[in-house]
Amino acid sequence: MKRYLILEDGSVFEGTGFGAPVTTTGEIVFNTGMSGYQETITDQSYNGQIVTFTYPLIGNYGINRDDYESIIPTCKGVVVHEAARRASNWRNQLSLDEFLKAKKIPGISGIDTRALTKRIRSEGTMKASIMDAADDHAFDQLKALVLPKNQVQQVSTSQAYPSPDMGRNIVVVDFGLKHSILREFSRRNCNVTVVPYNTSAAEILNLDPDGVMLTNGPGDPTDVPEAIEMIQSIQGKIPIFGICLGHQLLALANGCETYKMRFGHRGFNHPVREIATGRIDFTSQNHGYAVRAASVDKDQLMITHEEINDHSVEGLRHRFYPAFSVQFHPDAAPGPHDAHHLFDEFMEMIDAFKLKQKQEKFGD
């Protein structure tokens, strides 16, 4: 079945359709991971985006029950050079083609993904469509499309829910969370309550948390002003750990600025330097926005990490409050496990804050 990928700049790529036989439109981006396509497709940070995989063969180990980052993926489409005809893996339950059909996500294969990626790198992310006919009317519709700004609202849970255990009490604010974040807290026996993105500071504090996690999520962080207000109200009262979009929101809550990157960071081979120690971690990343380094108030915040290739801000820590954040994904799904230790540092921050409160209340 012939299918076309058309770009906002007038480019046309002809390929073969797989997955759901539907027309779709969204922002086209590329991911450089050699594996991890299931986690990528089900990551809600890709809401509204058509994902191009730079690795030439995708789908070779199928889809399994363990690697979902969400149950209902909301990416708009999948672009590959070659879609594997047969999956070979002991965990495989269904093929990529079957999975995309079940989730109503279209795919296109046979594309020169190298040429496509080079175009995105030079021109930046742009609007794109996957369709059965590339005509002038399709280009006119694409150019007229206005991308939504309520992406976090689309993917966040609408009601709070628990992931119970007997350890530290963690409130996870869902901006489009990955299940792997919950898995990391489960490994540390945390009692987790997941709450919607627009939960107020008072509602969060009423849950008596030991710590608050600000999760990853899609879109422009300035489109979530209610979260910025909430962070300003709780910081200093409870330890905070932000990841990806949560990192950007913590920055905005402390007077920083964010900007849209030309093509973003998407993959899990991004080297990040911890400035204090010089330690290099290879990290999983998925973001199109970043914190502007020049806007960071050095009297309030400390830049803790930077991306080695473009020197963008990859980590922040508050100088006076128990709060820190990273732009990358320490939950590492998919990706290397180099930064898992940050969840342990969050646990240590929580324990130190509780000890300090106890000492202030009862004395030494």
Asked whether residue 288 is marked as a ligand-binding residue, the answer is yes
Q: Is 244 a catalytic residue?
A: yes
Asked whether residue 269 is marked as a ligand-binding residue, the answer is no
Asked whether residue 248 is marked as a ligand-binding residue, the answer is yes
Asked whether residue 267 is marked as a ligand-binding residue, the answer is no
Catalytic residue among 81, 179, 247, 329: 329
Asked whether residue 286 is marked as a ligand-binding residue, the answer is yes
Catalytic residue among 81, 97, 174, 244: 244
Q: Is 75 a catalytic residue?
A: no
Asked whether residue 45 is marked as a ligand-binding residue, the answer is yes
Three-state DSSP state, 233: helix
Asked whether residue 285 is marked as a ligand-binding residue, the answer is no
Evaluate whether 232 touches 253 at the Cβ level (below 8 Å): yes
Written as six digits, the tokens of 345 are 């540092």
Give the long-range contacts of residues 31-34, CB within 8 A, separation 24 or more. Answer: 31/266, 31/267, 31/286, 32/266, 32/267, 32/269, 33/267, 33/268, 33/269, 33/334, 33/335
Beta strands in the chain (DSSP E): 2-7, 12-19, 24-31, 49-53, 57-58, 77-79, 82-83, 106-109, 126-131, 161-163, 169-173, 191-195, 211-214, 240-243, 258-274, 280-291, 301-307, 313-318, 323-326
Three-state DSSP state, 107: strand
Catalytic residue among 43, 97, 281, 331: 331
Asked whether residue 289 is marked as a ligand-binding residue, the answer is yes
Spell 225-247 as b/e; 16+ CB within 10 A means b. eebbebbeebbeebbbbbbbbbb
- Would you please indicate which residues are annotated as catalytic (active-site) residues? 244, 329, 331
Indicate the annotated binding residues for L-glutamine. Answer: 45, 217, 219, 245, 248, 286, 288-289
| Known binding positions | 45, 217, 219, 245, 248, 286, 288-289
